[in-house]
Amino acid sequence: MPTSRRPVDAYKAIIDQLVHETTRSVTQRVVTERGYFLETSDHDVYNPLVRSLTPEQRRLLGDMLQQERGDAIHDVLVVLTDWMSSDGLAFTFQGEPMLVDISGMGLHGDFVGRLQGWEWPNNGDPTKP
């Protein structure tokens, strides 16, 4: 949650939360460290494969799962950016328009930038240095 009541701070908090969620995958950890997928009825079908892998292969599979998690979030942000740029979609926070696309490369650009350690510009205002 943003500490400020400004729409730009809410936007930054959303992107930063998505970055945080992307870098923390329970599935990756379970596959890598415990040697199974999830032991639910829907996922148990994958466990014979996961259990047959060496620790190095499980690490690689875990990395693939982690990468796919980030790619999925990225792809959703691409769709939202497209809707915003061509179909009039907009976000608001407490009834005020929300500044988005601070990087100038779409919501997904802000997401990727933050994943790579990019710092938010001066209070989220892309017109200020």
Domain region containing 95: 7-124
114: left (phi over 0), alpha (psi -120 to 50) or beta: alpha
Average pLDDT, the chain: 89
Q: Model's pTM, two decimal places?
A: 0.81
Say if 1 falls within a structural domain: no
Question: Tokens 């379970």 identify what position?
Answer: 30
Say if 84 falls within a structural domain: yes
Cα radius of gyration rounded to whole Å, the chain: 18
Distant-in-sequence, close-in-space partners of 7: CB < 8 Å, separation ≥ 6: 91, 92, 93, 94, 96, 97, 98, 99
For the stretch 65-115, pLDDT in tens is 999 999 999 999 999 999 999 989 999 999 999 989 999 999 999 999 999
pLDDT at position 41: 74
More confident residue, 70 or 1: 70
| ∠ CA 13-19-25, rounded to 5° | 130
Give the residues across from 97 on adjacent strands: 92
| ∠ CA 19-24-26, rounded to 5° | 145
Say if 44 falls within a structural domain: yes
Q: How confident is the model at residue 128 (pLDDT cuts 50, 70, 90)?
A: very low
Say if 107 falls within a structural domain: yes
Rounded Cα distance between 49 and 33, Å, is 15
Say if 53 falls within a structural domain: yes
Say if 29 falls within a structural domain: yes
Say if 129 falls within a structural domain: no
pLDDT at position 127: 44
pLDDT over 90 (residue 119): yes
pLDDT over 60 (residue 125): no
Count of structural domains within the chain = 1
